[in-house]
Amino acid sequence: MKRIHYCNECKKYTLKEECCSKKTILKNPPKFSEKDKYAEYRRKAKEKELKERGLL
């Protein structure tokens, strides 16, 4: 069974043990909850990050 890894360089989840020529860390994404009280803040932060990168 494969585990989810996280790349600190490109900030992406992957199934590979290496990404961006560096070793990834084992990490699981946050659990989904319909009663997520922080979802609004995460969406705003993600939107801000995408605007800064020029992707939105």
pLDDT tens figures, 6-55: 898 888 888 888 998 889 998 876 777 888 888 889 899 999 999 998 98
Q: Answer yes or no: are the C-beta atoms of 36 and 25 closer than 8 Å.
A: no
Q: Answer yes or no: are the C-beta atoms of 24 and 6 closer than 8 Å.
A: yes
What's the pLDDT at 45? 93
Does the pTM exceed 0.85? no
What's the pLDDT at 55? 86
Domain positions in the chain are: 1-28
